Amino acid sequence: MTALINLPHLALTPVYDALPIDNLFNARKVSSTVRRQIEEYTSVTFGLNRLYGSFFSSAEDILQFRLVQHETRALVSGTSLVYVLSRSGYPLTDLDVFLPFGCVEKFGLFLLRAGYRCSPVDLSSDDPEVLLRKQEAALLDMLAAGVRDTDKLVLTDGYKANHVSTAFVFDRLDGKRIQLVGTKTEPIHAILGFYSTLVMNVATSNDLISLYPNTSFVQHAALYVQDITPPIQDARKRNEERGWVPISMVSARTSLESKDELSFKTRWVGDQHCWVFPLPPLAELAGQPDAYRTLSVTSWLLHSPAPGTLRVVFNRLDSDVMRSQFVINWDEDREKWVYNCFRNMDGRFRWVTTASEGLNSMGDVDGYLGEFVRRDSSLARWACFYSNASPDEVFAMQDGQLHEDLVRFVSQLYPVLDDRYTDNVVLDRLREAFGRAFRHYTGMGAHVEHPTGHTVTVILQCLEEVLTVANCQDVDFTLGFTFDRDLHRVWTTFIIFVPSGMIDHVREDLCYWSTDGFRDAYMEVFIASKC
């Protein structure tokens, strides 16, 4: 046994290949040497060359693929990842890349330069540059034709792709094929609409992630979450021939078992059920923001709408002021995330903010979102979407024109902990935030009234009440300002972040304040949990 352990990991590859994947992971507990060997094995087995080596002829092309993938927020998915994650010997011939439709041009031009062709063109010229220009023109012509509303689109592997606008097929002379699938919303939205949990796997520029790994690659089962149409029946038959047992329902016990990935609880991309295999870091992206931030706030759950059927339930948090959409388990969790205590928002989220882990940042009025999310019943956090622009730069983005729906200035004020800050310091910070916001509004031509001292007084009273109830524990607060065109007034949004265990107590204590009292102060108050 000792001699076996001391072998180089490449010599042990056949041994590890023969181990069931769950046994392989458990074997990491044997010793630090075995753990290191298995990590080396998985870095190769689930690594870049296995993922993309069949589709690109050089390491430089793979690097450029990942850089473009990061820039366009593209997700690789489909049957190719099933083959990689199952450690099968099936050759990879097709690669499906899901990305926002507006990014197809950039990705497509890269593929053309990497030797792929997107449509039949006149190949009479022997000049590679002439052929490339013809291909680029053909791609741009197809893109100019507009988004095709093709909910019935069937991808190359034979199953329906929901939430997809259009698809472009790029072929290489050796038979390799890459399909760019332009999505109507975030790519993960389309992937969660797949016909089976078996194909719910994604590769970002940073990681390879499986959403249902135990079911797919340990139990070798495929849960079907769509009606069995002819294309899905064909895919199901192929999956059965390759060893995946079809299932269409889970037991009552499984549905209630929180430790099971097929339970009916809320799931998140990257939660404890997922497999996440990191890919080699990209030094070229050091210090840049993560392009896949939306994945960390993507949630869904399984639901049984009728006996014998299962569906993936999720929705999309979207508005005119957001650059990205969030795929969320809407009905189940929304009311748990944010307590809108005092003002009827008609079910719409109109404000944005960031407020966790000591982050102090500016919300970009042109489209960054921070929305309160939960990973499990015991864990709450904020997903932060922010720019590093100064207030002047942020408001200059509007070119002097008020946004159609809202213009707001969001300021993250310092945490109020115990008696670290006196009321006077807090008051000074509030006045400063108000002053900066209204100077920006009036500088852009908005005729607004300056907030009365009553608004500041109510904020301080509210904050004092929260600190009393929460026993001066870790309490953060954020101010947001929303311009109301009809009233020519600026509403103040006051978001208070309290420890998760205190949220119900704080909410109950504040509810005695009348709604009219806050409206008179042109305020809306939110109570939210924080980590």
Contacts of 313 (CB under 8 A, 6+ apart): 300, 301, 302, 303, 329, 331, 332
Enter the DSSP assignment of 119: S
Residue 523: CA atoms inside 13 Å, Cβ hemisphere, count?
A: 29
Contact (Cβ atoms closer than 8 angstroms) between residue 169 and residue 176: no
Q: What is 375-430 written as a DSSP string?
A: EETTEEEEE---B---HHHHHHTTTT---SS----EEEPPPB-TTSS-HHHHHHHH
**Three-class secondary structure of residue 128 per DSSP:** helix
Tokens of 86: 């199952």
Tokens of 222: 């495929």
How large is the C-alpha radius of gyration of the chain? 26
Phi, psi angles (nearest 5°) of residue 415: -60, 145
Tokens of 362: 């500016």
CB contact burial 318-329 (16+ within 10 A = b; e otherwise): eeebbebbbbbb
Write the single-letter amino acid at 315: N
Per-residue model confidence (pLDDT) at position 447: 56
> How far from 385 is each of 268, 355, 362, CA to CA, in Å?
18, 10, 9
CB contact burial 342-356 (16+ within 10 A = b; e otherwise): beeeeeebbbbbbbb
Contact (Cβ atoms closer than 8 angstroms) between residue 319 and residue 348: yes
* CB neighbourhood size of 77 (10 A): 25
Contacts of 306 (CB under 8 A, 6+ apart): none
**Residue 434 CB burial class (10 angstroms; 0-12, 13-18, ≥19):** buried
Contact (Cβ atoms closer than 8 angstroms) between residue 170 and residue 136: no
Per-residue model confidence (pLDDT) at position 435: 62
Contact (Cβ atoms closer than 8 angstroms) between residue 399 and residue 323: no
Per-residue model confidence (pLDDT) at position 100: 85
Q: What angle do CA 92, 98, 99 make, to 5 degrees?
A: 140
Find the length of the chain: 531
Per-residue model confidence (pLDDT) at position 524: 66
Q: What angle do CA 206, 211, 216 make, to 5 degrees?
A: 120
Residue 310: CA atoms inside 13 Å, Cβ hemisphere, count?
A: 23
Per-residue model confidence (pLDDT) at position 456: 67
Helix (H) or strand (E) holding 179: strand 177-183
Per-residue model confidence (pLDDT) at position 217: 92
Shortest CA distance to 158 belongs to which of 51, 237, 84?
237
Phi, psi angles (nearest 5°) of residue 209: -130, 130
The strand pair at 94-100 and 177-183 is best described as parallel
**Residue 422 CB burial class (10 angstroms; 0-12, 13-18, ≥19):** exposed
**Residue 244 CB burial class (10 angstroms; 0-12, 13-18, ≥19):** buried
The parts of the chain modelled with pLDDT lower than 50 are 1-4, 120-125, 146-160, 319-323, 331-422, 531
Contacts of 78 (CB under 8 A, 6+ apart): 94, 95, 96, 155, 157, 199
Per-residue model confidence (pLDDT) at position 153: 43
Q: What is the 3-state secondary structure (H, E, C) of 41-98?
A: HHHHHCCHHHHHCCCCCCHHHHHHHHHHHHHHCCEEECHHHHHHHCCCCCCCCEEEEE
pLDDT digit string (tens) for 430-460? 566 566 656 655 555 555 555 556 666 777 6
